[in-house]
Amino acid sequence: MFAPGCASSGGPIPNPQGQSSPGDAEWDDLDAAISWTATEHELGILGFEDQSPETRVYELNTLRGDPVYIQFSREEKVSPYESTPVEITVQYGFFGDERREQAIIQTLQSRLARLSAID
């Protein structure tokens, strides 16, 4: 799945400038939710970066090689097994694609809710 501290395509991963939406997540479920979402939306996972204890950004790409960035931000660091409010931000492509960004956010929210119910 992911290697701890996994790096991306080389440089720092930029903060996404796309659509945002609130959600709830257990921090330890983020990798699983990203894997599910990548499969559902035919995206390749390049890696992730913990920009701070409260912010993680994933770098993915489309089949055409366009970048997709997904950021999870939380107000404060809590146990990785405790559900906490998060802000999910997605940027699809170089210039954004609102429809695809919203679809990815909805998939992530749904998957995170299901994963939270399992624990």
Single pTM value for the model: 0.88
CATH code: domain of residue 62: 3.30.530.20
The pLDDT, as a whole number, for residue 54 is: 95
- Amino acid present at 83: S
- What does the chain look like in DSSP terms, one character per residue? ---TT---SSSPPPPP-SEEEEEEEEGGGHHHHHHHHHHHTT-EEEEEEEEETTEEEEEEE-TT--EEEEEEEESS---TTSEEEEEEEEEETTT--HHHHHHHHHHHHHHHHHHHHH-
Number of domains in the chain: 1
> Which residues, 6+ apart, have CB-to-CB distance to 42 below 8 Å?
62, 63
The pLDDT, as a whole number, for residue 5 is: 43
The pLDDT, as a whole number, for residue 60 is: 98
Range of the domain at 108: 19-118
Whether 10 maps to a domain, the answer reads: no
Whether 112 maps to a domain, the answer reads: yes
Q: Could you state, in chain order, the average pLDDT of each consecutive group of 10 residues for the chain (119 residues)?
A: 49 84 94 97 97 96 96 90 94 94 97 88
The pLDDT, as a whole number, for residue 80 is: 84
Whether 9 maps to a domain, the answer reads: no
Whether 80 maps to a domain, the answer reads: yes
Whether 72 maps to a domain, the answer reads: yes
The pLDDT, as a whole number, for residue 10 is: 63
